Amino acid sequence: MNRRNFIKIAGLGVGSVALSSTLMSCSDSAPDEYYGWNGLATHVKDIRMQVLAYAILCPNPHNKQPWIIHLTGPASFNLHVDPDRLLPETDPVHRQIHIGQGTFLETLAIAANGLGYKANIEYFPEGMYGNTELIDKPVAAIELARDTGMNKDPLFNFLLQRHSNKREYGNYQLNESELSTLRNAHQRHGEYSLTVMDSPQGKANMVKILTNAMQIEVGNPQRDMETIEMFRFNEDEIRKFRDGFGVAQTGMNGVTKFIAETFFLDRKTVEEDPTEFGQQAVDMTQKVSESTNTFAWLSSTGNSRLDQIKIGRDYCRMNLQTTSMGLAQHPMSQVLQEYDDMRDLQVEFKQRFNIPESETVQMLFRIGKAEPVTHGPRRLVTQLIQSA
């Protein structure tokens, strides 16, 4: 049986995990200290390490984990963008990377709250830089203050469950109660505009746009290789790098996963000829889009680095909110990316959905129902920490 036929029988495209060229999270079972998805180790007493152990579990682009921590005091630290963990081909102006700073901060703040602390966050304490540049300045200074009188954020209970679910959604139709709950939750905590779309015509337009966007993305060898670089072809790569994504994040597991990784997937073959990998990504984008009835996006009138970070916080809360409701969520933001090849399709996207040209759609995602997939690998918290 050849590689292509096996993958079709397994119900998974080789390139389907390339769907996650935007914010994603994806893991297999491993010791607590390895991934951190099974909760906080009881021997950890440093409150900074405790909140960071949760923060690193947040959704982030390609699971690059683009964070550096500088410890500044017994209960304080600064957050920086890691310049060695960028996506220059698919995120050339680092907008998605800064959204990933926001998801980190929101997860951190919710974790601190659940542990009896308030996270006082000062954005860009040394000054903000432009939205097309990256300067070595902290994006946030965080100070943790003991506050046992705070009401516990109910989303704290879902930090270890949250994930991006790339399965098909069976055309699940959110009911009015679910839609109202999502909108009300965002209205209470969100700063930016949330649009929810679930009309049949809107879905047809969205399927076309998302499929075309993936076709554009994989049509460039440099962009394609950027995704392949973050794909983990086997357990050895997962354990070595502790980042990226693999077949488990699409729902493949057990014997099927073992056979796929052992006999049909290998880095050398895909890198020599990524054509099939890319085409499977396009096919799977169309397939999962067609299985979805509800799409949503977060947009802003401004597009500063601060806007990007704050909208990352909004997105993180939305992902946790859907998790708390037993819903699945999956970002599909290829069409939002800023490289030249995508510009015409971005214009079409805005026109089809009556989005003002002056607005920036920061996150685009689908919502539905599906069985959970395994979480993504994470590095050790200590790997984030550098001397100031």
Full strand arrangement of the beta sheet holding 294-300 = 193-197, 294-300, 360-368, 328-331
Paired tokens of 111: 């974790």
- Mean of pLDDT values over 175-203: 98
Q: Which residues contact 240 (CB under 8 A, 6 or more apart)?
A: none
Whether the pLDDT of residue 27 is over 60: the answer is no
Q: Please list the residues that pair with 364 across neighbouring strands.
A: 297
Where do we find the tokens 């993936």? 214
* Residue range(s) defining the domain that contains residue 294: 3-19+166-368
| Pair 303, 325 in one domain | yes
Q: Which residues contact 259 (CB under 8 A, 6 or more apart)?
A: 6
| Pair 171, 186 in one domain | yes
pLDDT value of position 45: 87
| Pair 183, 326 in one domain | yes
| Pair 137, 218 in one domain | no
pTM of the model: 0.89
- What is the torsion angle, in degrees rounded to the nearest 10, for the CA atoms of residue 42, residue 48, residue 51 and residue 52? -100
In a domain, 199, yes or no: yes
Q: What is the CATH number of the domain that holds 129?
A: 3.40.109.10
| Pair 113, 99 in one domain | yes
| Pair 280, 246 in one domain | yes
In a domain, 375, yes or no: no
More confident residue, 388 or 240: 240
pLDDT value of position 208: 98
pLDDT value of position 253: 56
State how far the Cα of 241 lies from the Cα of 237, in Å rounded to an integer: 6
| Pair 297, 280 in one domain | yes
Whether the pLDDT of residue 262 is over 90: the answer is no
Q: Which residues contact 249 (CB under 8 A, 6 or more apart)?
A: 17, 20, 24, 26, 164, 166, 373, 374, 376
Number of neighbouring beta carbons within 10 Å of residue 50? 20
| Pair 150, 205 in one domain | no
Give pLDDT tens digits for 350-360.
999 999 999 99
> What domain count does the chain have?
2
In a domain, 27, yes or no: no
In a domain, 25, yes or no: no
In a domain, 388, yes or no: no
Highest mean pLDDT among 79-83, 149-153, 253-257: 79-83
| Pair 328, 199 in one domain | yes
Cα separation values, 337 from 91, 95, 185, 219, 364, Å? 6, 9, 27, 14, 11
Domain boundary among 160, 183, 214: 160
For residue 159, the number of C-alpha atoms closer than 13 Å in the C-beta half-sphere is 30
| Pair 249, 213 in one domain | yes
